[in-house]
């Protein structure tokens, strides 16, 4: 049979109907309120490609090197064309239409349900299609489009990258009654970290997509299931909602003013949802993560999965998070949980603790030109300064120590993102430490001691501090994103549960080629240069999809370019920080800049509509208008794409009115530079480091003015400088009404808690 009804399907039918449909069938069988549906089985897809004899050509077409963007684009186009332009056999057509009529001639939702069991469902499912509001006339075409969605560029690339055979993945399609939800959300039937009888619900207006994709901060309700008490109600400021568009697409709408801060669920609805949740939990005999909707006062169950984050030891993740948060500064990240038995000698070297953790290892002094192969797993790299070509060795290392650099240096940024403890700015580490000796490094306190330590830590205590044990992050109205500088950190950054990437620095991708952009283009051609950027950004955009990723165009000072092949052609500048960098360089070299912009165009074509474009170091609106014209020249429509600028010069802060009028969607404070230029304190100069103060009233005054003006112009505001990880800055900005905060990877959890604390204080103040 090409189609099966949900009540004919159980959990054992995974192979035939895919994960999504199997679970809906199971719930229907248990008498739970699932909207009715039939499934076009995976066999139907398979027999379609075999009976029409397109299978061989299809799999040959996608057998390509997916790093070759041109080949990938052509393969995806041809494969989809093959499916979409081949007629469905008449018997299949009749069966589908008969099933549709039986469901009651109403518009339906058509969703794909992929069947490769070992594929990581969340990420893979994101590559599949969902069509809402599908009429009888469009049904067959939509089903074929679901089939063809197995062959988008992203899906082909993903399977190639992860070693899944194209012909081992089949696809089923669920055709389901539309639930035009008035409200929807998710529910954890038990506490997601302790497994205790505490249910947690998130709810927003409209269709569930807004909650699931993270586009909106939903209301949050905590219920003690034993007593039935609603213990906590957090009403979010819900700016957007998803609704059905006229053409069947899900579209985002502004929430009507009076509903933005209105509570979504009544007590009675909460109790009805909990009752349904308990039935699902009883059915599976394990706590569930449930997607639900309410339509015409009926509760519907859209999906249910087991909660996989429950800590079997019974320790609460929240309690762990609280114990871990640093009272004196999220800046310093999360403390190493284990108690240590010290056998090491008194401090020998001290610097800036720039990536948290305490580790022991053997010193490897690495000279910039030295062969990095001598760094083995577990060693401690000691260098004057790190460079992008050291990243593979940094990944192997247990710790990193540098003579030079501050909290925003390459070594500090990369080590934090890799989760490798580091001490930077230790001045004479390369002289004082000897190659081969064993030392213990404390990336929190910024010290290196001679000798080894025997940690008494358990595996659990030494777990990566950025890993989120609970999928329920503190619900905040202000978004908390994360900064990423090296694509290698993408997965780790995405696992923090951040609301997106607030700053993706592209310079590391380009500097790691070891050639200046112009030399790279000379040697390998424009296409290869564009591909280099596309590949770097793509891995981050993929890991976060559909959460937004703010990608910054090139911003490296000329002294960093001068160290690369081709660097002799770069200007030699007396003060590179005030020189040829950021948008200034880009506007002076429109040819090179347009290649970067073409990389954005390419990413949009690949389907990464979550990529946003950000311009660094602008002085005024004129810089922006000139860059905007170049964007248009390469075919980027500034009206259609989200783009914005960094505010990191006092001039840009003082020109904010004109900058808003230039059409930007957002601005983001680069406080490393804004502080440097406002206070005239070189951010890399240890002699004046004690004067470098992002919380200086002059810096805060500029930021306050910018936020005020942006709010009037409906331009969103953010911070992505190092100070985003400082609690005092978080306090100040949330108070001022900033839209998002983007800290370092190791500070995300603490910042989420800090933001929530401030928001709750503000709420309390407003009602007292």
Listed ranges 141-149, 248-256, 645-653, 678-686: which one lies at the site for Mg ion (CB under 5 A): 645-653
> Residues touching ligand PEP: how many (CB under 6 A)?
11
Query: Pick the catalytic residue: 166, 191, 410, 469?
Result: 410
Listed ranges 303-311, 584-592, 665-673, 704-712: which one lies at the site for ligand PEP (CB under 6 A): 665-673
Query: Among 203, 206, 238, which Cα is nearest to 222's?
Result: 203
Of 280 and 583, the one with the shorter C-beta distance to ligand PEP is 583
Of 174 and 493, the one with the shorter C-beta distance to ligand PEP is 493
Listed ranges 241-249, 630-638, 664-672, 732-740: which one lies at the site for ligand PEP (CB under 6 A): 664-672
Site for ligand PEP contains 309 (CB under 6 A): no
508 catalytic per annotation? no
Q: Supply the DSSP string of 105-144, one letter for each residue.
A: SS-EEEEEEE--TTS-HHHHHTTS-EEEEE-GGGHHHHHH
Mask for 151-190, x = binds ligand PEP (CB under 6 A): ----------------------------------------
Listed ranges 108-116, 203-211, 237-245, 671-679: which one lies at the site for ligand PEP (CB under 6 A): 671-679
Residue 2: in which H helix or E strand, if any?
none
Of 175 and 733, the one with the shorter C-beta distance to ligand PEP is 733
| Contact between 72 and 175 (Cβ < 8 Å) | no
Shortest distance, CB of residue 426 to ligand PEP, whole angstroms? 21
Shortest distance, CB of residue 581 to ligand PEP, whole angstroms? 9
List binders of Mg ion among 651-670 (CB under 5 A).
670
Of 39 and 720, the one with the shorter C-beta distance to ligand PEP is 720
State the number of CA atoms in the 13 A half-sphere of 494 facing the CB. Answer: 18
Sign of CA pseudo-dihedral 434, 440, 444, 446 = negative
- Alpha-carbon distance of 764 to 148, in angstroms, equals 52
Which listed residue (255, 636, 720, 745) binds ligand PEP by CB under 6 A?
720
List binders of Mg ion among 335-394 (CB under 5 A).
none
| Contact between 659 and 621 (Cβ < 8 Å) | yes
Query: Among 420, 399, 502, 413, which Cα is nearest to 464's?
Result: 420
Shortest distance, CB of residue 31 to ligand PEP, whole angstroms? 54
Mask for 624-663, x = binds ligand PEP (CB under 6 A): ------------------------x---------------
- Residue 571 to residues 159, 508, 566, 618, 619: CA-CA distances in angstroms? 44, 20, 11, 20, 21
191 catalytic per annotation? no
List binders of ligand PEP among 353-412 (CB under 6 A).
408
> Residues touching Mg ion: how many (CB under 5 A)?
3
- Alpha-carbon distance of 388 to 147, in angstroms, equals 42
Listed ranges 88-96, 307-315, 457-465, 666-674: which one lies at the site for ligand PEP (CB under 6 A): 666-674
List binders of ligand PEP among 401-430 (CB under 6 A).
408
Of 398 and 744, the one with the shorter C-beta distance to Mg ion is 744
Of 209 and 673, the one with the shorter C-beta distance to Mg ion is 673
Which listed residue (26, 417, 673, 759) binds ligand PEP by CB under 6 A?
673
Strand order in the sheet with 447-450: 347-350, 447-450, 438-442, 358-365, 380-383, 399-402, 422-424, 352-355
Of 18 and 616, the one with the shorter C-beta distance to ligand PEP is 616
| Contact between 703 and 753 (Cβ < 8 Å) | no
Strands (E), 28-117: 37-40, 108-114
- Residue 137 to residues 143, 260, 723: CA-CA distances in angstroms? 12, 37, 56
List binders of Mg ion among 539-568 (CB under 5 A).
none
Query: Among 205, 167, 215, which Cα is nearest to 62's?
Result: 167
- Alpha-carbon distance of 620 to 653, in angstroms, equals 9
Shortest distance, CB of residue 328 to ligand PEP, whole angstroms? 22
Return the structure tokens found at 457.
Answer: 């830590």
Shortest distance, CB of residue 503 to ligand PEP, whole angstroms? 6
Of 186 and 556, the one with the shorter C-beta distance to Mg ion is 556
Of 264 and 729, the one with the shorter C-beta distance to ligand PEP is 729
Strands (E), 249-375: 250-254, 288-295, 298-306, 340-341, 347-350, 352-355, 358-365
Q: What is the distance, to the nearest Å, from the Cα of residue 335 to the centroid of all Cα atoms in its chain?
A: 24
- Alpha-carbon distance of 70 to 602, in angstroms, equals 10
- Alpha-carbon distance of 165 to 190, in angstroms, equals 37
Which residues face 694 on adjacent strands? Answer: none
Query: Which partner, Mg ion, ligand PEP, none, binds residue 505 by CB below 5 to 8 Å per kind?
Result: ligand PEP
- Alpha-carbon distance of 713 to 737, in angstroms, equals 14
- Alpha-carbon distance of 126 to 752, in angstroms, equals 26
Shortest distance, CB of residue 531 to ligand PEP, whole angstroms? 23
- Alpha-carbon distance of 189 to 273, in angstroms, equals 10
Listed ranges 97-105, 389-397, 452-460, 667-675: which one lies at the site for ligand PEP (CB under 6 A): 667-675
Longest dimension (CA), the chain: 82
Which listed residue (721, 730, 744, 747) binds ligand PEP by CB under 6 A?
721
Query: Pick the catalytic residue: 146, 660, 710, 720?
Result: 720
Q: At what angle do helices 697-712 and 671-679 cross, to 10 degrees?
A: 120
Query: Among 551, 312, 508, 310, which Cα is nearest to 417's?
Result: 508
Which listed residue (209, 488, 673, 746) binds Mg ion by CB under 5 A?
673
Return the residue matching tokens 């490393």.
672
Of 503 and 707, the one with the shorter C-beta distance to ligand PEP is 503
Query: Among 596, 574, 598, which Cα is nearest to 585's?
Result: 596
Mask for 554-593, x = binds ligand PEP (CB under 6 A): -x--------------------------------------
Which listed residue (88, 610, 671, 718) binds ligand PEP by CB under 6 A?
671
Shortest distance, CB of residue 203 to ligand PEP, whole angstroms? 35
Of 317 and 733, the one with the shorter C-beta distance to ligand PEP is 733
Of 142 and 683, the one with the shorter C-beta distance to ligand PEP is 683
Query: Among 463, 438, 436, which Cα is nearest to 448's?
Result: 438
Mask for 470-509, x = binds ligand PEP (CB under 6 A): ---------------------------------x-x----
User: How buried is residue 318: exposed, middle or buried, by Cβ count under 10 Å (0-12/13-18/19+)?
Assistant: middle
Strands (E), 370-517: 380-383, 399-402, 422-424, 438-442, 447-450, 454-455, 479-480, 482-484, 501-505
Which listed residue (672, 678, 716, 752) binds ligand PEP by CB under 6 A?
672
Shortest distance, CB of residue 555 to ligand PEP, whole angstroms? 6
Residue 540: partners with Cβ closer than 8 Å, 6 or more residues away? 484, 487, 490, 493, 501, 504, 549
Which listed residue (356, 497, 502, 670) binds ligand PEP by CB under 6 A?
670
Provide the annotated active-site residues: 410, 720
Task: List interacting residues with ligand PEP (CB under 6 A).
Answer: 408, 503, 505, 555, 648, 670-673, 720-721
Task: List interacting residues with Mg ion (CB under 5 A).
Answer: 648, 670, 673
């Amino acid at each position: 049979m090409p189609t099966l009804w949900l009540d004919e399907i159980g959990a054992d039918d995974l192979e035939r109907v895919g994960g999504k449909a199997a679970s809906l069938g199971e719930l229907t069988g248990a008498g739970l309120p699932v909207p009715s549906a039939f499934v076009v089985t995976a066999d139907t897809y398979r027999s379609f490609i075999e009976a029409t004899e397109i299978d061989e050509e299809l799999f040959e077409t996608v057998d390509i090197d997916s790093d070759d963007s041109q080949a990938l684009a052509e393969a995806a186009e041809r494969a989809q064309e093959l499916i979409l332009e081949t007629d469905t056999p008449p018997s299949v057509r009749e069966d589908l239409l008969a099933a549709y009529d039986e469901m009651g001639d109403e518009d339906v939702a058509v969703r794909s349900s992929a069947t490769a069991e070992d594929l990581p469902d969340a990420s893979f499912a994101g590559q599949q299609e969902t069509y809402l509001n599908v009429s009888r006339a469009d049904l067959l075409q939509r089903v074929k489009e679901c089939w063809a969605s197995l062959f988008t560029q992203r899906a082909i690339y993903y399977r190639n990258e992860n070693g899944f055979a194209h012909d081992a993945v089949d696809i089923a399609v669920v055709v389901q009654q539309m639930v035009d939800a008035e409200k929807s959300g998710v529910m954890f039937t038990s506490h997601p970290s302790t497994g205790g009888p505490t249910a947690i619900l998130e709810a927003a207006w409209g269709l569930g997509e807004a909650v699931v994709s993270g586009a909106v901060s939903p209301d949050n309700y905590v219920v003690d299931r034993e007593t039935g008490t609603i213990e906590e109600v957090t009403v979010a400021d819900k700016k957007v909602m998803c609704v059905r568009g006229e053409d069947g697409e899900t579209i985002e709408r502004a929430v009507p003013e009076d509903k933005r801060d209105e509570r979504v669920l009544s007590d009675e609805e909460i109790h009805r949802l909990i009752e349904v949740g308990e039935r699902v939990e009883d059915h599976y005999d394990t706590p569930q993560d449930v997607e639900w909707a309410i339509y015409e006062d009926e509760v519907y169950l859209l999906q249910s999965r087991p909660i996989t984050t429950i800590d079997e030891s019974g320790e609460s993740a929240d309690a762990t998070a609280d114990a871990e948060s640093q009272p004196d500064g999220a800046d310093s990240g999360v403390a190493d949980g284990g108690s240590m038995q010290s056998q090491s000698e008194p401090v020998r070297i001290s610097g800036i603790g720039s990536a948290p953790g305490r580790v022991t290892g053997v010193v490897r002094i690495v000279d910039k030109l030295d062969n990095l192969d001598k760094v083995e797993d577990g060693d401690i790299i000691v260098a004057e300064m790190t460079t992008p070509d050291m990243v593979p060795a940094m990944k192997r290392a247990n710790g990193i120590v540098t003579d030079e650099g501050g909290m925003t240096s390459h070594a500090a940024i990369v080590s934090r993102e890799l989760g490798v403890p580091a001490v930077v700015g230790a001045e004479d580490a390369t002289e004082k430490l000897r190659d081969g000796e064993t030392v213990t490094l404390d990336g929190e306190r910024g010290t290196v001691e001679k000798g080894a330590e025997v940690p008494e830590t358990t595996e659990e205590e030494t777990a990566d501090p950025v890993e989120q044990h609970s999928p329920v992050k503190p619900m905040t109205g202000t978004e908390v994103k994360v900064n990423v500088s090296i694509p290698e950190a993408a997965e780790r950054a995405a696992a923090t549960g951040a609301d997106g990437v607030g700053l993706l620095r592209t310079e590391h991708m380009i500097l790691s080629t070891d050639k200046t952009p112009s030399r790279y283009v000379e040697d390998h051609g424009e296409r290869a240069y564009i591909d280099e950027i596309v590949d770097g950004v793509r891995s981050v955009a993929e890991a976060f999809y559909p959460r937004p990723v703010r990608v910054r165009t090139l911003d490296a000072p000329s002294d960093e370019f001068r160290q690369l092949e081709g660097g002799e052609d770069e200007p030699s500048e007396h003060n590179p920080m005030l020189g040829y960098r950021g948008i200034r360089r880009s506007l002076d070299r429109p040819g090179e800049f347009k290649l970067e912009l073409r990389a954005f165009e390419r990413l949009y074509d690949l389907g990464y509509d979550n990529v946003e474009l950000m311009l660094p170091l602008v002085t005024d609106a004129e810089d922006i208008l000139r860059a905007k014209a170049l964007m248009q020249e390469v075919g980027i429509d500034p009206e259609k794409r989200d783009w914005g600028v960094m505010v990191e010069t006092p001039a840009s802060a003082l020109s904010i009115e004109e900058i808003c009028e230039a059409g930007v969607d957002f601005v983001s404070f680069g406080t490393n530079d804004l502080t440097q230029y406002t206070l005239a304190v070189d951010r890399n100069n240890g002699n004046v480091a004690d004067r470098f103060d992002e919380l200086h009233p002059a810096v805060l005054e500029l930021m306050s003015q910018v936020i005020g003006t942006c709010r009037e112009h409906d331009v969103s505001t953010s911070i992505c400088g190092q100070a985003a990880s400082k609690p005092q800055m978080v306090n100040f900005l949330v108070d001022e009404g900033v839209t998002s905060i983007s800290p370092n990877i190791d500070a995300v959890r603490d910042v989420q808690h800090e933001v929530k604390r401030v928001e709750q204080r503000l709420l309390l103040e407003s009602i007292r």
